[in-house]
Amino acid sequence: MKVILIFIAVFISFSVLSSESSICEKSKTEKSFVPKYAKNFRIDYFRNFKIVRVGNDSYLLSTGRVNCSDSFQAKILTPVSHVAFMSTTYLPALEILGKTDTLMAFQGKHYIVSKAYNKSKLRDLAFKFNPEDLITLKADLIMGYTSNLSDEKQKQIFKKLSLPVVINKDFEELSPLARAEWIIFISSFYNLEDKAIAVFSEIERNYIGLKIKNDKLSKAKVIVGSIENGYWITCGGKSDLAQLISDAGGVLAFKNDSNETQKVSLEKLVKNNQTFDVWLTHNMWLSAQDRLKAFQQDNRYRFVKAKDVYNNNLVRNENGATDFWETAVQRPDLLLQEISELLHPQSYDVSLKWYRKI
């Protein structure tokens, strides 16, 4: 009798234990968050945990320990309070979520423009990092992009060392809204998805509203770039910037289907014998003086005729890094508004946050 009882006890505990592990893989999703624009992440919610997927990697996020089998790239305890980031594009999310004090390390802190961080308290991470260094961080979350972390071998090492390394693929998104939607991804580590979703909805609403308004306006002629090495260097025809220009009611010079930087022959520039309404230089010039000096040095600039010239480096930090790559990426609605102002000054009255007139 006793033996049977013991047997039953063992059997029950076994099944309880095994059904605990099958909770992870086989349990029912309570709900899912599938982004509207972004293609590279999704969040699936379960009773005690959530699974965040980025491409082929999945991460287990939970507030307490959950017994699961080991197929996750990393298991993260939420909400995180000590994070290390590798890109300035993640920082505005922290500001919006009110979590700037959780940043403890950054790769290249001289790039940070925002004044919300006490740089002297931030640990600097080298560009080529090594796992041992990351261990000493004692961070709950280390977020970066593939060129730093994605080696398959690196991923194995992180997993073995149980390092909470998460790969953020926002840069693979193909539109400004898609990139901005990653604020929700970041918020999931803080359990603040509701806030992030609300903020994104506002961004989306604003963006679409602007787009509709701009559709009705006459198109402005826009050119982007400058001369380097005897070529005209400009953004791709399907890049984020190109889309913003299009959504702002502009027509970009040199159509093409790429989202990579383009090297355009100067002959095309000469042939393109029109006066542009707006020229966004996106280079090192800080003033009209700089521009005029460049013209003096290289008289092929006279083939670029534009009524107004702007550069995206209005706000810079002491090291020359611009805010464009920080806050503008997170707020494409505000950026679209600003570009709309540049292209259609009669229809807008916006004070510039990122562009300066030169």
Partner 1 sequence: MKLKYSILFVPVLALALALLFIGESGLSNDAVLVNELRLPKVMACLFAGGLLAVSGLLMQIFFQNPLAGPDILGISSGSSLFVALWMMAGAGLSPFVQEWGMNAMSFFGAISVFLLLLFFLKRNVSRVSLIIIGLLISSFASSGISVLVSMSQALQLKNFLVWSMGSFRNITQAELPRFLVFSILSIFPVWFFLKPLNQFLLSENYAKSVGVNVKKMRMVFVTIAAFQISIVTLYCGPIGFIGIISPHLARLYLRRAQLTHLLPAAFLVGSFLALLTEMILVMTPTLSISVNAILGLIGAPIIVLYLYRQRSLSL
Residue with tokens 């542009």: 276
- Of residues 36, 263, 305, 307, which one binds partner 1 by CB under 8 A? 263
Distance, in Å, from the CA atom of 238 to the CA atom of 242, rounded to the nearest integer, reads 6
Q: Residue 269 CB, nearest distance to partner 1 (Å)?
A: 9
Distances (CA, A) of 297 to 281, 285, 290, 302, 304: 17, 14, 11, 11, 15
Q: Across the strands, what pairs with 42?
A: 53
Beta pairing class for 74-77 and 57-62? parallel
146-185 footprint of partner 1 as x/- string (CB under 8 A):
----------------------------------------
Residue number, 160 or 302, with CB nearest to partner 1:
302
Q: Is 111 in the site for partner 1 (CB under 8 A)?
A: yes
In this structure, are residues 220 and 249 in contact, taking their beta carbons and an 8 Å threshold? yes
- Of residues 115, 120, 127, 153, which one binds partner 1 by CB under 8 A? 127
Q: Candidates 18-26, 200-208, 241-249, 258-266: pick the segment binding partner 1 (CB under 8 A).
A: 258-266
Q: Which contiguous run of DSSP H or E holds residue 139?
A: none
Q: Could you say which residues in the range 185-244 bind partner 1, by CB under 8 A? A: 228-231
Residue number, 162 or 287, with CB nearest to partner 1:
287
Q: Across the strands, what pairs with 141?
A: 83
Q: Is 294 in the site for partner 1 (CB under 8 A)?
A: yes
- Of residues 57, 95, 204, 290, which one binds partner 1 by CB under 8 A? 290
Q: Is 300 in the site for partner 1 (CB under 8 A)?
A: yes
Q: How many helices (H) does the chain have, and how many strands (E)? A: 13, 18
- Of residues 22, 147, 289, 305, which one binds partner 1 by CB under 8 A? 289
Distance, in Å, from the CA atom of 310 to the CA atom of 280, rounded to the nearest integer, reads 5
Q: Candidates 78-86, 133-141, 146-154, 297-305: pick the segment binding partner 1 (CB under 8 A).
A: 297-305
Distance, in Å, from the CA atom of 199 to the CA atom of 182, rounded to the nearest integer, reads 11
Tell me the residue ranges of DSSP E strands in the chain.
31-33, 41-45, 49-54, 57-62, 74-77, 83-85, 103-107, 123-125, 141-144, 165-167, 220-224, 226-228, 231-234, 250-252, 262-265, 275-280, 305-311, 356-357
Q: Could you say which residues in the range 17-36 bind partner 1, by CB under 8 A? A: none
Residue number, 69 or 229, with CB nearest to partner 1:
229
Residue number, 108 or 131, with CB nearest to partner 1:
108
Q: Residue 224 CB, nearest distance to partner 1 (Å)?
A: 16
Q: Candidates 27-35, 153-161, 170-178, 263-271: pick the segment binding partner 1 (CB under 8 A).
A: 263-271
Closest listed residue to residue 312, CA positions, set 229, 225, 233, 211: 225
Distance, in Å, from the CA atom of 112 to the CA atom of 85, rounded to the nearest integer, reads 11
Distance, in Å, from the CA atom of 140 to the CA atom of 143, rounded to the nearest integer, reads 10
Q: Is 297 in the site for partner 1 (CB under 8 A)?
A: yes
Interface with partner 1 (CB under 8 A), residue total: 34
Q: Is 65 in the site for partner 1 (CB under 8 A)?
A: no
Q: Could you say which residues in the range 266-285 bind partner 1, by CB under 8 A? A: 266-268, 270-271, 283-285
Radius of gyration for the chain, computed over Cα atoms and rounded to the nearest angstrom? 25
In the numeric block, which tokens belong to residue 330? 């997170």
Q: Which contiguous run of DSSP H or E holds residue 102?
A: none
Q: Is 114 in the site for partner 1 (CB under 8 A)?
A: no
- Of residues 23, 75, 82, 108, which one binds partner 1 by CB under 8 A? 108
- Of residues 103, 177, 210, 321, which one binds partner 1 by CB under 8 A? 321
Residues in touch with partner 1 (CB under 8 A): 108, 110-111, 127, 228-231, 262-268, 270-271, 283-287, 289-290, 293-294, 297-300, 303, 319-321
